[in-house]
Amino acid sequence: MSEEQIQKYELLYIVPTTYADDEIGSVETKVSTLLEKDGASIDSVNRLGKLRFAYPIKKQRHGHYVLVYFTAPRSSVAKIEEHLRITEEVLRHMIVKADKVTPKYNLVQFQEIDIEAKEEARRKRKQEERAKAEQHHAAETEKSAAGADKDSEKKLTEAEVEKKIESALKEDIKDV
């Protein structure tokens, strides 16, 4: 094959998040082997990290992005495309000719939400609210106790309370 037919390419592929971070290495090895089997020579492999999709792909919302620079004959690119299309570990892929200047990209890494930290913060907030409520209740109790001293002159004796209960019960029986 002549030198004119060999070109430099860029492959970006996405691995689903069903694969753990340590399993991504085995997927990279599988794709690299596939490329070399089809006549490509790999220049570099860059793991870009776990990123969120703009829309779900095969019920996945996130994926591990991997960028590969390789050189290969033009005729082998179609074979590589075909093999990547049927590879289960690859959700999506794209092969383009690589320019002489490496493009600069600014990808925002996906940050997983720490649910335990949120729950801990929520628990602390509830404890603080309970403490404030208890302080408020204590203050109200003190106020009512001060007011009760004024009302102590109006307190009924036990005998008077029993008389009122009996009269209320008698009225209820009459109504029935």
Q: What is the pTM of this model?
A: 0.56
Q: Can you spell out the DSSP letters for 18-48? A: TS-TTTHHHHHHHHHHHHHHTT-EEEEEEEE
Each residue's pLDDT expressed in tens, for the chain with a length of 176 residues: 445 588 899 999 999 988 888 888 899 999 999 999 988 999 999 888 888 888 888 888 889 999 999 999 988 999 999 999 998 899 999 999 887 655 566 666 666 666 777 788 888 888 999 888 888 888 887 777 666 555 555 667 888 888 888 888 877 777 66
> 111 is written with which tokens?
């940050």
Q: What distances in angstroms separate CA 161 from CA 155, 156, 168, 174, one per listed residue?
A: 10, 6, 11, 20
